């Protein structure tokens, strides 16, 4: 397939991580676990945990400021602000509206997008569509996750996996630059919702003393099933996105995968035919920050010079829903 002409390009990226580091050994003091178990099964050594008083909107707004500074965009120029989050600060209004107020993006349409760990790729694709329709000149795409607020800290099977952080990207029409989003493939399967979910606290089972006592407002996960589905779905999404972009695995300069588990990353890269020296990995430092992992990794990869003008980048993610997706970009 011929490489398509991109419509929207990323002109700035940013990230924000809380300073507070929690190591595997710190967790082993409170849970029946060990650094050896966590690191050998997941590749994670430590994660950032937001202190009391630092909320999802703060994580997202700080990442957004960095992306806007790089892109040279003033708050009033933002036409659309999409925030992917599985950890909104409140049920009403959206975290996007809170971030809009913090940033002063008074001309933007602002809303949250819920696609769990795949949220940033979904949001980039929605922003691209809005730009393609001629409705926006500047799109701000933010991923912000305070996973520590929905983790059951007494459950060793999930508590060791997650961390807090924010990432962001500014998207603009590429006006013939040849750089930008080449293709994307998004998918979801609601039949597998119960593999990773929060049973209570929503409209079905509103917050009550029994929800709180039984921890039904916290995350529950079937780890093995998630693992199998993640590898299969991400590998397939990579193939489809590369195919739509007219690229083969040999053309990819860097794969920026969702950072949930080093074994999932290695298996996905293997199936996609991309060697590990062309795969960006930072799961060791941050754990799984849900939708924030992809933009944080992307921003670090650019900072480290692993993404340069002309690079072909493939990004891929998988999460609750189930949702998954991949996107090919020329930088």
Interaction site with ligand ACO (CB under 6 A): 33, 37-38, 41-42, 117, 156-157, 160-161, 196, 221, 223-224, 226-227, 230, 258, 260-261, 288, 318-319
User: Using an 8 Å Cβ cutoff, are 306 and 279 in contact?
Assistant: no
Minimal CA–CA distance to 103: which of 73, 66, 75? 75
Among 117, 174, 217, 229, the one annotated catalytic? 117
Please state the closest distance from residue 159 (CB atom) to ligand ACO, in A: 7
Question: What is the smallest separation between the CB atom of 143 and ligand ACO, expressed in angstroms?
Answer: 13
End-to-end CA distance of the chain: 20
Min CB(319)–ligand ACO separation in Å:
5
Which residue number, 65 or 232, has a Cβ lying nearer to ligand ACO? 232
Residue 258 is among the residues annotated as catalytic for this protein: yes
Considering the candidates 238, 258, 261, 312, report the single residue annotated as catalytic: 258
Please give the Cα distance from 135 to 227 (Å, whole number). Answer: 39
> Which residues, at least 6 apart from 303, have a Cβ–Cβ distance to it below 8 Å?
none
Nearer to ligand ACO, 65 or 228 (CB): 228
Task: Judge whether 288 counts as a catalytic residue.
Answer: yes
Q: Which of 24, 229, 261, 288 is catalytic?
A: 288
| Least distance (Å) between residue 324 CB and ligand ACO | 9
Nearest residue (CB) to ligand ACO, 16 versus 324: 324
Residue 58 is a catalytic residue: no
With residues binned 3-state (H G I as helix, E B as strand, rest as coil), the percentages for the chain, rounded to 5, are 40, 25, 35
| CB-based closest residue to ligand ACO | 223
DSSP H/E element including 232: helix 223-244
Per-residue CA distances from 110 to 55, 60, 98, 120, 141 (Å): 18, 13, 9, 15, 10
For the CB of residue 313, give the shortest distance to ligand ACO in the complex, in Å: 20
Tokens encoding 171: 């998207």
Q: For ligand ACO, give the closer residue by CB, 35 or 253.
A: 35
A 10 A CB-CB count for 171 gives: 29
Q: Among residues 120 and 330, whose Cβ is nearest to ligand ACO? A: 120
What is the DSSP code string of 54-79? Answer: --HHHHHHHHHHHHHHHHT--GGG--
Residues with a known catalytic role: 117, 258, 288
């Amino acid at each position: 397939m011929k490489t398509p002409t991109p419509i929207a390009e990323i002109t700035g990226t940013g990230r924000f991580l809380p300073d507070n580091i929690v190591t595997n050994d710190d967790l082993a003091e409170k849970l029946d676990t060990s650094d050896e178990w966590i690191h050998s099964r997941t590749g994670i050594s430590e994660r950032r945990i937001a202190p009391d008083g630092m909320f999802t909107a703060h994580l997202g707004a700080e990442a957004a400021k960095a992306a806007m500074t790089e892109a040279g965009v003033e708050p009033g120029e933002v036409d659309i602000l999409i925030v992917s989050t599985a950890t909104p600060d409140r049920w009403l209004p959206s975290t996007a509206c809170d971030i809009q107020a913090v940033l002063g993006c008074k001309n933007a349409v602002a809303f949250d997008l819920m696609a769990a760990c795949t949220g940033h790729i979904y949001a980039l694709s929605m922003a691209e569509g809005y730009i393609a329709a001629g409705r926006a000149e500047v799109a701000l795409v933010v991923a912000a996750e305070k996973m520590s607020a929905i983790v059951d800290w007494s459950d060793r099977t999930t508590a060791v996996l997650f961390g807090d952080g924010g990432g962001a990207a500014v998207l603009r029409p590429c006006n013939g630059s040849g750089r930008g989003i080449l293709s994307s493939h998004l998918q979801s399967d609601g039949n597998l919702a119960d593999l990773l979910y929060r049973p209570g606290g929503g409209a079905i089972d509103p917050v009550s003393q029994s929800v709180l006592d039984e921890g039904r407002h916290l995350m529950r996960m079937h780890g093995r099933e998630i693992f199998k589905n993640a590898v299969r779905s991400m590998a397939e999404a990579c193939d489809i996105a590369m195919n739509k972009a007219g690229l083969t695995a040999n053309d990819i300069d860097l794969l920026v995968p969702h950072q949930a588990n080093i074994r999932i990353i290695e298996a996905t890269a293997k199936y996609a035919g991309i060697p590990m020296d062309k795969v960006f990995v930072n799961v060791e430092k941050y754990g799984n920050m849900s939708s924030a992992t992809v933009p944080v990794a992307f921003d670090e990869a650019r900072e480290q010079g692993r993404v340069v003008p002309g690079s072909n980048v493939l990004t891929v993610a998988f999460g609750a829903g189930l949702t998954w997706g991949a996107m090919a970009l020329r930088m």
